[in-house]
Amino acid sequence: MRLAPFFACVALVLALFLSACGGGSSAELPGQSSNLTSADEVLAAAREAVALVISYRSEQRMPVKSQAYGRDLVMRNISLTWSTPDHLHLRSGGTEEGGEEQAFELIATDSRVFARESKTGNIWEEYETDPNPEDRQVGGGLALVRRFSAAPGFGARSVQQELPEGVPAEVVDDLPLQQSDSTYHLYVSTSDFLPRRLLTETSIRWETSSGEAPSAEDTGVEPVYMESTDNFLDYNVPVAIEVPHVL
């Protein structure tokens, strides 16, 4: 699916997706309550609680800033509704620096995917999905709670882009690779162990194998810094996600 550059990082946004609650439930950091004995036990209980969720809604607010020049690049707001079996409705809106407000919408239901964006006329288009059922298990942010919270060192994550195959030896040392560093602060309800909020900070930059940071002119992309506040809402409230009308 080829979309305008403004929405090129929607996949990254979903990869960071987690969120907060209404309904009056209190939310605390793992380990703050006297009823919780360790962060690992809380995360295990959260994974069990998440496995029973049949629907939820989330809201995310995310500013993106340039690390190189200290200016705002994007302010994006995202709302997401999900229900079993992997029915998803995502709305994203934001503004690039100096640009107009843009909107993107995606619906995935019954192994069909539809998307539209304001920049191209807000016309629904249907896209092919991956034939592998395992790759269609989107689940929104809750699926990532289970995966990320089970990983060692949850709370901080550093990812170095791998070197592409076939790169000539003479250019390996100078080839810029993406380096992403993220920290997570997860809030879990002490009453039902469901995730309520995730605060995420992500720094993306480019480094060579020697550890040097090439300039934006060399890579064509500026280093960026993202913050996001994601809130989970309305667990297990019945929702209907319908296939849009496509011309």
pLDDT at 139: 62
Residue-wise pLDDT for 104-149, tens only, equals 999 988 778 899 999 888 899 998 766 554 544 556 667 766 776 7
pLDDT at 218: 66
CB 225 within 8 A of CB 67: yes
Q: Pinpoint the alpha helices (H) of 1-126.
A: 10-15, 39-50
Q: Pinpoint the alpha helices (H) of 110-151.
A: 140-149
Q: How far apart are CA 185 and CA 199, in angstroms?
A: 5
pLDDT at 242: 87
- Kindly list the structural domains of the chain, giving each domain's residue range(s) and its CATH number in brackets, ordered by start: 5-233 (2.50.20)
Give strand ranges (E) for the chain. Answer: 27-28, 55-66, 72-83, 87-96, 101-109, 112-117, 125-127, 156-160, 177-189, 195-207, 224-233
Burial class (CB in 10 A: 0-12, 13-18, 19+), 216: middle
Q: How far apart are CA 145 and CA 154, in angstroms?
A: 10
Rounded to whole angstroms, what are the CA distances from 185 to 155, 197, 206? 6, 8, 25
Which amino acid does the sequence have at 184? Y
Instruction: Using 50 as the pLDDT threshold, list the residues of the chain that sit under it.
Output: 1-34, 133, 135-136
Helix (H, G, I), strand (E, B) or coil at 132: coil
Question: Which residues on adjacent β-strands are paired with residue 109?
Answer: 112
Angle separating helix axes 39-50 and 140-149, nearest 10 degrees: 140
CB 117 within 8 A of CB 7: yes
pLDDT at 155: 80
pLDDT at 225: 92
Joined together, the tokens standing for residue 119 give 């920049």
CB 66 within 8 A of CB 73: yes
pLDDT at 166: 79
